[in-house]
Amino acid sequence: MFGAGGGTSSYEETRAADLIVLWGSNAREAHPIFFHHVLKAVNRGAKLIVVDPRRTPSAQWADLWLGLDVGTDIPLASAVAREIIEAGLTDEEFIARATSGFEAFRESVQPWTLDEAERVTGVPAGAIRELAHAYGEAANAQLCWTLGITEHHNAVDNVFALIDLALLTGKVGKWGCGLQPLRGQNNVQGGGDMGAIPNRLPGFQEILDDAVRAKFDAAWGSTVPPTHGLHLSGMFEAMEHGDLRAVYVVGENPAQGEADQTRAERLLTGLDHLVVQDIFLTRTAQLADVVLPAAATLGEAEGTVTSSERRVQRVRKAYDAPGEARDDIEIVYALARRLGHDLGSPRAEDVWNEVRSLSPMHAGMSYARLEELGGIQWPCWDENDPGALFLHGRLWDEVVADRAPFQVVEHDPPVDLLDDAFPLRLTTGRRLESYNTGVQSGGYSSPLHRGGADILLAPEDGARYGVADGARVRIVSRRGSVETSARYDPTLRAGLAFMNLHFPDEVATNVLTIDATDPKSGTAEFKATAIRLEPVA
Amino acid sequence: MPDLKLLDAEPTEAEREAIDAVVGAEPAGSDRVVRSRPRRHLLLPALRAAQRRVGWVTAGALGYASRRLEIPPADAYGVATFYALISLEERPAEVLHVCTDLSCALKGAVVPEGAVPSPCLGLCELAPASLRTIAGERPREIQIPEERLPVHGDKLLRRIATGEPYGELRALARARELGPEAVIAAVKASPLLGRGGAAFPTGLKWEAVARQPVKPHFLVCNADESEPGTFKDRVIMEQDPFALVEAMAIAMFATGCEKGYVYIRAEYPLAQRRVQDAIDAVGIDVELRIGAGAYVCGEETALFQSIEGHRGEPRNKPPFPVEAGLFGKPTVVNNVETLVNIPHILLGEDGRDTRLFCVSGDVARPGLYELELGTPLSQLLDTAGAEPAKAVLLGGAAGSFLRPDQLDLELSFEAARAAGVTLGSGVVIVFGEDADLVSAVLRIAAFFREESCGQCVPCRVGTVRQEEALHRLASGAANGDERAVLADLTQVMRDASICGLGQTAANAVASAIENLGVLA
Amino acid sequence: MRITIDGVTTEVDGGTILDAARQMGIDTPTLCYGDTLTPVNACRVCVVELEGARTLVPACSRRVEDGMVVHTDSERVRTSRRMVLELLGSSVDLSTAPDALAYVDRYGAEPARLGTPPAPAPRIDNDLYVRDYSKCILCYKCVEACGVDHQNTFAIAVAGRGFDARISTELDVALPDSACVYCGNCVAVCPTGALMGKTEFDLREAGNWREEEQAQVDTVCPYCGVGCTLTLHVQDDAIVKVTSPDDHDVTRGNLCIKGRFGYRYAQNR
């Protein structure tokens, strides 16, 4: 956000908030311990508002739940913005001093009256108004989102629409107010921190910046190419076009995790060379030419990860990895040696110290300090810096040099349109006890795993399409079909169905999903698939 | 509202109707917007309504009440199982509860086949007594016997004794003339001490609440009269309910209470009706709440818990109710007898400081007696026509046994304290020459074991171990250590229990052993 | 504020008598108290004598007031503590409750004179944790952890009354039919082993639970991005239990099902 990619605030501020908005986030199940912080606030009397097509467990905790149509977040946010402006709830001083582009933004949301938003989103105007007023009036508000916002073909625009709300009301850059994209994987934030994104080097340093590259070139004794790399979805496109012929996959299972799975598997199979480094022989690894057995992060590896609140924390080894499995760093360093390059000591702390020497925002985070403080939130510029509870405090300086721009965004409905042949909207999400493609969470048994591969249907839809509660059903999308059991879920409204991605060996949900991807983030529209149901005799 | 996982059981139409009558019909749902509206405080009324409709609380009713009030089912189950009169097991629509407590035992109480034994039903002067509960479309509770005895007194009981009809709300009008501060000053200037047992000056309590800046303030009338042998509050509520309701109106006016509650035990159906009628007639914002069979809910903080929809587990004090009481707000808690003194104070027509005594057991004229404080107990016993007594239990199950040579005790707070006894709730149970004191002691021990809420270790386990040791002594199976065990239990219950129930659970037992030599 | 404990006067900034006693190095026994939980002061093993108070008061929840004079080791205090431990020991199997057993020794409690605890009665209705209420002292910690203090799932509550009070799901249904989400935050706070991870339970049954040999290694949960610290309890190069430190800001000792029980994937060798 405005530069470095990370949530602007801390869990501590969430606990102290007056208002928490979860938008496209089912933290109760997907981020259970973050939700503990939400509940501390709720039990203290804070208001919780949840925006989600499903009445999720998180939504059930809410004072107010808004069940919008899938993919109508921008109309909803625009109407909230318009109402905040109309009701005089903007922070005019902040807008004038710290932002740019307000007039154009105001123009852009003008068409989104409460009634018009109700027509497009399905959410009653009164509830939209209530959200606008609650957000506009709260002293300390946290606006949090997850994949409900980002797994869309216009993910980045969705995020912009939410950031605009914070800019309108001055709810960013000060203690108590923040924007929090909750991270789905234990180190997805750390991956970004370390430059595992197409356009940045470690510490979110711009790869096109000559001075930055010069620093890395000098340290690494090689030349960093002055170009942006590819997103995952961009890689698949490049495979499709034959531009990408060899792939090295570390700790991912794209054969089952990508939207439009049939296509993903075909492209991976068609590569000249596929290397997979993983702790399991995943579906992807089964397609590989070379499999490098890796040590598990849990219990077998040393290093650091970065959490959703930008906190860098130590990962520690408890025992040796089994058999020939080796630590990820060790494998990469050995590979480099085979390729004629000595990367130095593969000790995790040495690697980390190299990060600190090249990434200014991590400079103050010695292992000793990470131990002592139980993790440090970036940026941490030197060894006296306690780290940052929140970001963008500079927006409250008297003179703001680099103003935060309002972003004008347009509503763009889901790509996979509903029609008579595909009348139901299928959305996807995570379950409490499971995780991603189930590679890890499939390893233990629990009563919560029961019925995990089912499709959840509104009882009305079950009746309408002749699918009984518990019956087998074939689910057909424009890309493929799968068969599973149906279960009625009264928290779903008619027209909306739900599946997860955790049990791909039982039901390959991603055979159905569409790989319409956001050009900026590279994320596919997992949240909006058009389907029909066919009863199975 | 929590993300509930509900029971897989539906209510019947009848149960749904009964619960809806308490919590309101289910609003037409939206599949787009839901606003949370938890109303936990309606849980006990909802469960009671379901039970009165079908005789017991089914899984369907429990689940439906949980869902409508947004209470986790396990939590609702914990509340339901706390109360002796809520049944989670199927039983007939009609149940006879037969009192087997002290006074009724003296009068030869017998539990017929199919009936349920009950702790004191508060009909001690009419012993032996019972309560018939009838569930169905026209649910009702019938106290047996239904007759009422004359009362003896000429201040608090004057209207009841003379049959004089209730007049206007003269004291309330007077209070309004005086204004809140002057009312509190008048109560402070009176000698009125709380009649609930703690004998705290009422005026100071009112003043403390009136001064609290936190709003709202609540008034709670504790009418959960459950001390074995006690029936005074019942008599007042049945026969002079306006005295109570007028006093509540004055208390609310003086202390700035927005709302009042009167919590009447479930075993008092007539009192409930009469008080509700009086509330409606006077037109004040007082809500009637009905208990469900739990002695401990007479403890003020347990009573708050019960109104709020929790298990009736006493809270630790401090904080005291004047600061953080019902719903965590400043709360005046007064019992019925305390409150009915208030109109007399404001009208200033009779300055005598009187107390009510509940006389039962082996006496010719059991009933309610109003005496000026300081009257000797022996005089009361004469008036009531007591048989020559082997012992008198003063103050109830939490009180003490007196020997025949101790009956000239003056009935006043000071004299009682000096004698190391308590007037408690004004209980006087006379045990005649033929009375079985060992059974009485065992009944008292059983009472505390049954009524312990179970929250703190000293009371939860101590009341069980106390009863066991007494049974060993009574059955001749003693191992020689019982006296030491009982002494240790007395000390730990008195010293380390959370509330007055545990703290007094060994009182009567210890006095029987030490003072009467029973089981010694 | 000034408080005098056992004859020594000290300055404290609020807090409870227990906090003040700890600050002065006085070891006060506690069972139902937990650093991350709201005190319920139910066990009464921490009672102390407060001058001017009619009864003993619970150190864990009584707030310090200026000028308090407290005795933590008077005869009265020792008697009540000893009796609380005798009452518990006579009604509960304390064999896997190390703290309680140590207090029994310390106060010379003789539970046997009051009664004999029930035989073990483990209830195994899932693969993750085991409940044995013959070991339950009704400290309420699990209810608090499952309830408002942490998890807010409310799968269990205290049901019944008096000696019949017990921890229960709604209608005593088995855990898989209850609202339980297997976070194990109840297991983490249980002071008596009435709640126990299935791995620990099985190892104990096999006579192979060797706590003194176990290493504890802190790392970060490998699942979602919240960043929960996991303490891995390792025996024979295998994870046998997962906890989280009470003083970790992110978790306050709590985890979800994946963090606490989802480690097996890294054990399949």
State in words which class domain B354-432 has.
alpha beta
List the single residue in C55, C63, C165 with the smallest CB-CB distance to B495. C55
Whether C224 and A31 lie within 8 Å, measured CB to CB: yes
Give per-residue pLDDT as tens, B22-49: 999 988 777 888 888 889 999 999 999 9
Pick from C83, C103, C143 the residue to mutate for testing the B interface (most B CBs within 10 Å): C83
Task: Say yes or no: B462 contacts chain C, CB-CB below 8 A.
Answer: yes
Nearest to B331 by CA among B344, B345, B346, B319: B319
Give the pLDDT confidence score for residue C269 in this predicted structure: 57
Q: Which residues of B touch A493 (CB under 8 A)?
A: 31-32
> Which residues, other chains included, contact A46 with Cβ-Cβ below 8 Å and sequence gap of 6+?
A17, A18, A19, A20
List the single residue in C44, C86, C157 with the smallest CB-CB distance to B75. C157
Whether C269 and A323 lie within 8 Å, measured CB to CB: yes
Task: Say yes or no: C15 contacts chain A, CB-CB below 8 A.
Answer: no
Strand pairing report for C157-159 and C166-168: antiparallel
Q: Mean pLDDT for chain A?
A: 95
Whether B2 and C154 lie within 8 Å, measured CB to CB: yes
Is residue C20 scored above 80 in pLDDT? Answer: yes
List the single residue in A316, A320, A442 with the smallest CB-CB distance to C217. A316
Residues 118-147 of A with CB under 8 A from B: 122-124, 126-127
Among B1-15, B218-232, C27-41, which is the least confidently predicted range? B1-15
Pick from C32, C33, C44 the residue to mutate for testing the B interface (most B CBs within 10 Å): C44
Pick from A63, A70, A469 the residue to mutate for testing the B interface (most B CBs within 10 Å): A63
Nearest to A151 by CA among A530, A529, A528, A526: A526
Task: Say yes or no: B73 contacts chain C, CB-CB below 8 A.
Answer: yes
Q: Which residues of B touch C170 (CB under 8 A)?
A: 7, 62, 66, 72-74, 76-77
Distance from CA of B324 to the nearest CA of A (A): 16
Task: Say yes or no: A311 contacts chain C, CB-CB below 8 A.
Answer: yes
Whether A299 and C249 lie within 8 Å, measured CB to CB: no
Q: Which CATH superfamily is domain B158-347 in?
A: NADH-ubiquinone oxidoreductase 51kDa subunit (3.40.50.11540)
Whether A296 and C248 lie within 8 Å, measured CB to CB: no
Please provide the DSSP assignment of chain C as one string.
-EEEETTEEEE--S-BHHHHHHHTT-----SS--TTS-----S-TTEEEETT-SS-EETTTPBP-TTEEEESSSHHHHHHHHHHHHHHHHHS--TT-HHHHHHHHHTT--GGGT--PPPP--B--SSSEEE-GGG----SHHHHHHTTTTT-----EEES-GGG-EEE-GGG--GGGSS-----HHHHH-SSSSEEEHHHHHHHHTT---GGG-EEEEEE-SSSTT--EEEEEEETTEEEEEE--TT-TTTTT---HHHHHTTGGGT--
Q: Which residues of A touch B4 (CB under 8 A)?
A: 60
List the single residue in A61, A122, A124 with the smallest CB-CB distance to B2. A61
Whether C129-266 and C1-117 are alike in CATH topology: the answer is no
Give the pLDDT confidence score for residue A4 in this predicted structure: 60
Give the pLDDT confidence score for residue A438 in this predicted structure: 87
Q: Which residues of B touch C79 (CB under 8 A)?
A: 488, 491-492, 495
Q: Which of 2.40.50.180, 1.10.3720.10, 2.20.25.90, 1.20.1440.230 would CATH assign to domain C129-266?
A: 2.20.25.90
Domain B437-516, classified CATH 3.40.605.10, yes or no: no
Task: Say yes or no: A38 contacts chain C, CB-CB below 8 A.
Answer: no
Q: Mean pLDDT for chain C?
A: 97
Task: Say yes or no: A72 contacts chain B, CB-CB below 8 A.
Answer: no
Distance from CA of A89 to the nearest CA of B (A): 23
List the single residue in A28, A58, A67 with the smallest CB-CB distance to B33. A67
Task: Say yes or no: C52 contacts chain A, CB-CB below 8 A.
Answer: no
Give the pLDDT confidence score for residue B165 in this predicted structure: 83
Residues 375-394 of A with CB under 8 A from C: 375
Whether B78 and C87 lie within 8 Å, measured CB to CB: no
List chains adjacent to chain C, taking adjacency as at least 3 C-beta pairs closer than 8 Å: A, B
Give the pLDDT confidence score for residue B218 in this predicted structure: 98
Which part of chain B has CATH 1.20.1440.230?
437-516
Task: Say yes or no: C213 contacts chain A, CB-CB below 8 A.
Answer: no
Burial of B89 (0-12, 13-18, 19+ CB in 10 A): exposed
Angle of CA points B193, B197, B202, to nearest 5°: 25
- Of the pLDDT bands very low, low, confident and very high (cuts 50, 70, 90), residue B122 is very high
Whether B495 and C47 lie within 8 Å, measured CB to CB: yes
Task: Say yes or no: B28 contacts chain A, CB-CB below 8 A.
Answer: no
The topology under which CATH files domain B94-144 is Glutaredoxin (3.40.30)
Pick from C16, C72, C163 the residue to mutate for testing the B interface (most B CBs within 10 Å): C163
Task: Say yes or no: A55 contacts chain B, CB-CB below 8 A.
Answer: yes
Whether B257 and B210 have beta carbons less than 8 Å apart is answered as no
Give per-residue pLDDT as tens, B162-203: 988 887 899 999 999 999 999 999 999 999 999 887 889 999
Whether C155 and B497 lie within 8 Å, measured CB to CB: no
List the single residue in C239, C256, C269 with the smallest CB-CB distance to A322. C269
Whether B79 and B43 have beta carbons less than 8 Å apart is answered as yes
B and C: number of Cβ contacts within 8 A:
161
The single residue listed with the structure tokens 């009419």 is B126
**C-alpha distances in Å from residue A349, one per residue of A191, A215, A346, A353:** 17, 21, 8, 6
Distance from CA of C70 to the nearest CA of A (A): 33
Distance from CA of C77 to the nearest CA of A (A): 36
CA end-to-end span of chain A: 51
Alpha carbons within 13 angstroms on the beta-carbon side of residue B123 total 28
Task: Say yes or no: A57 contacts chain B, CB-CB below 8 A.
Answer: yes
A and B: number of Cβ contacts within 8 A:
44
Helix (H, G, I), strand (E, B) or coil at B377: helix
Nearest to B244 by CA among B218, B220, B268, B228: B220
Give the pLDDT confidence score for residue B123 in this predicted structure: 98
Spatial separation of the C-alpha atoms in residues C99 and C85, rounded to whole Å? 11
Domain C1-117, classified CATH 3.10.20.740, yes or no: yes
List chains adjacent to chain A, taking adjacency as at least 3 C-beta pairs closer than 8 Å: B, C
Domain residue ranges in chain C: 1-117, 129-266
Give the pLDDT confidence score for residue C268 in this predicted structure: 63
Phi and psi at residue B112, to the nearest 5° = -70, 165
Distance from CA of B37 to the nearest CA of A (A): 8
Torsion, Cα B370 B371 B373 B375, to 10 degrees, reads -150
Q: Which DSSP symbol is given to A524?
A: B
Whether B424 and B380 have beta carbons less than 8 Å apart is answered as no
Is residue B6 scored above 70 in pLDDT? Answer: yes
Whether B316 and C58 lie within 8 Å, measured CB to CB: yes
Helix (H, G, I), strand (E, B) or coil at A41: helix
ipTM at complex level: 0.97
Task: Say yes or no: C219 contacts chain A, CB-CB below 8 A.
Answer: yes
Task: Say yes or no: B131 contacts chain C, CB-CB below 8 A.
Answer: no
Whether B32 and A127 lie within 8 Å, measured CB to CB: yes
Give per-residue pLDDT as tens, C87-119: 999 999 999 999 999 999 999 999 999 999 999
Which parts of chain A have pLDDT scores under 50?
1
Nearest to A189 by CA among A347, A4, A437, A23: A4
Assign residue A42 a region: left if phi > 0, alpha if psi is -120 to 50, beta otherwise? alpha
Q: Which domains does chain A have, with CATH numbers?
A: 11-181 (3.40.228.10), 188-377 (3.40.50.740), 424-535 (2.40.40.20)
